[in-house]
Amino acid sequence: MVALPRSQPSPDLTITSLGPCRIESPMSPLLDARGTSEHYVDEHDRVLLDDTLAGISSRGVPPSELPGMEPCGPRRKIFFDPAKTRAAIVTCGGLCPGLNDVIAGLVRTLTYHYRVRRVIGIRNGYQGFVAGYGHDVVELTPESVRDIATDGGTVLGTSRGPQDPDEIVDCLERLHVNVLFVVGGDGSMRGAMQIAETVAQRGLFIAVVGVPKTIDNDIPYIDQSFGFQTAFSHASDAIRAAQVEAKSTANGIGLVKLMGRHSGFIASYAALARSGADVVLIPEVPFALEGEGGLLAHLRRRVTERGHAVVVAAEGAGQELLASSEGHDASGNTRLQDIGPYLRRRIGDHFADAGIETSIRYIDPSYAIRSVPANPYDSVYCVRLSQAAVHAAMSGRTQMVVGRYRRRFVHVPMAAAVSRRNQVDPHGDLWLAVLESTGQPVRFV
């Protein structure tokens, strides 16, 4: 007899609702256009968390109790009366390709499909809610957002750092806002949770819905964050440039530092997109510099054999080699030491000690990548995320984010979305693909 795996604890994927939906949706004619329910979402259905027999078996529960996520999509009945609804949009944290696409998608869906009469934008992140900063609000219409997706950044501006949730809710009340869309990372979503909790404590009916943003692709329960494909595409161009520079000089070395504080997805995907990388360093896999099994000796051998080498390092890689940082940035993240200049110096010293003349070309394209417009794939993804966010908010969902999981758009509780970081599995197929592509050893020890 084969023993089944032990049962696993199931995450709480319950979505909070403001109340029953009793209002006929303006989208009902579209849902019933063909006399069928093909565009209608079965609210009682779920997108299963597990997609393997082993994973399902390990839960040890009947099919009806398997953990799953609520599907995104329009409902025939909604919670808010569109004629009496006011929506607000705020963008927070660092820049990421696709922010303007999300803003434009939210405005169009609210206006065209739900006929919401007023949509406003909050300037400069959560600061825009606080009177002391003096930021105004901006009226958003389909006409005003028509061309913003062609530009990078966010037309609303952004800021980092928390603000008093009571002051934010005071502002929402003054503005008569019923629906708040927060576009930001994990720190922004934690702030959104505090806003939603304050709303609930006051007995108000304000939906708080997030469109999660992280260029590092480290949000759990989501296949991929918006802007990620654009980011690693441009990052691969930096690898190409480093390879060209390295090949054009005797014993040349190209060193590229990419985004990825805690997760090495951009470095991994960019290196796979450009096969010129000889080494990829990510936060999830510690490495040693010294010794015959270390990184420096491996680079020396590569340069000796091929005449050049290219190293790709995520910004959070190798922190164990550096003096520990103190303090946090405005978003609450631990400050990292800069691995790029450190590697440049150590590589240069190693080759000099070995009597090998080399030329190191160091490239850090981070801010150039963050500020570019989204590519077509990410633009489409942003539009679909924004549509899903509006459908969720109008149906009274709150304290949740939208994302795609198993190729289906789903609702994820904010608490689950910030519960941990999505990281590259050192034993998974993505990292194996990187090792195959670069030819580097499994570990530098």
Domain count, the chain: 2
Residues 359 and 394 in one domain: no
Is residue 418 domain-resident? no
Is residue 392 domain-resident? yes
Does residue 181 sit in helix, strand or coil?
A: strand
Q: What is the DSSP letter of 323?
A: P
Residues 190 and 74 in one domain: yes
Q: Which residues are catalytic?
A: 216
Contact 331, 276 (CB under 8 A): no
Q: What averages of pLDDT result for each successive group of 10 residues across the chain (445 residues)? A: 48 95 90 58 86 90 92 94 97 96 98 96 97 92 96 95 96 98 96 98 98 94 95 96 96 97 96 94 97 96 96 96 70 80 97 96 95 96 98 98 95 96 96 97 95
Residues 216 and 234 in one domain: no
Residue 387 carries which side chain, given as an amino acid letter?
Q
Is residue 275 domain-resident? yes
Residue 238 has a pLDDT of: 97
Residues 248 and 126 in one domain: no
Contact 106, 89 (CB under 8 A): yes
Residues 270 and 144 in one domain: no
Domain containing 277 equals 229-371+426-438
Residues 378 and 363 in one domain: no
Residues 204 and 327 in one domain: no
Residues 278 and 357 in one domain: yes
- DSSP per-residue codes, 235-285: HHHHHHHHHHHHHTSTTEEEEEEES-SS--HHHHHHHHHSTT-SEEE-TTS
CATH of the domain at 101: 3.40.50.450
Is residue 32 domain-resident? no
Residues 97 and 182 in one domain: yes
Q: List, edge to edge, every strand of the sheet that includes 400-405.
A: 137-140, 118-122, 86-91, 179-184, 207-212, 400-405, 408-413
Residues 265 and 252 in one domain: yes
Contact 246, 310 (CB under 8 A): yes
Judge residue 176's burial from the number of C-beta atoms within 10 Å of its C-beta, 0-12 exposed, 13-18 middle, 19 or more buried: exposed
**For strand 68-69 and strand 408-413, is the pairing parallel, antiparallel, or unpaired?**
unpaired
Residues 285 and 432 in one domain: yes
What residues contact residue 143 under an 8 Å CB cut-off, 6+ apart? none
- Say how many residues make up the chain: 445
Calculate the alpha carbon distances from 121 to 136, 139, 158, 210, 377 in Å.
9, 6, 11, 15, 25
Is residue 34 domain-resident? no
Strand partners, 403: 410
**Token pair recorded at residue 335:** 């400050």
Contact 58, 5 (CB under 8 A): yes
- Distance (Å, whole) CA 402 – CA 212: 7
**Token pair recorded at residue 367:** 């801010």
- Distance (Å, whole) CA 257 – CA 341: 9
Residue 418 has a pLDDT of: 95
Residue 325 has a pLDDT of: 62
Nearest CA-CA partner of 309 in 264, 353, 249? 249
- Distance (Å, whole) CA 126 – CA 180: 12
How many Cα neighbours within 13 Å face the side chain of 38?
Answer: 4
Residues 236 and 333 in one domain: yes
- Distance (Å, whole) CA 120 – CA 138: 6
Is residue 293 domain-resident? yes
**Token pair recorded at residue 259:** 């985004």
CATH of the domain at 310: 3.40.50.460
H/E segment holding residue 166 = helix 165-174
Residue 329 has a pLDDT of: 62
Cα-based angle 290, 269, 222 (whole degrees, multiple of 5): 115
Residue 3 has a pLDDT of: 39
Residue 5 has a pLDDT of: 41
Is residue 337 domain-resident? yes
Strand partners, 254: 310, 361
Q: What are phi and psi of 167, to 5 degrees?
A: -65, -35
- Distance (Å, whole) CA 391 – CA 278: 46
Is residue 51 domain-resident? no
Residue 332 has a pLDDT of: 61
What is the maximum span of the chain, computed from C-alpha positions, in angstroms?
78
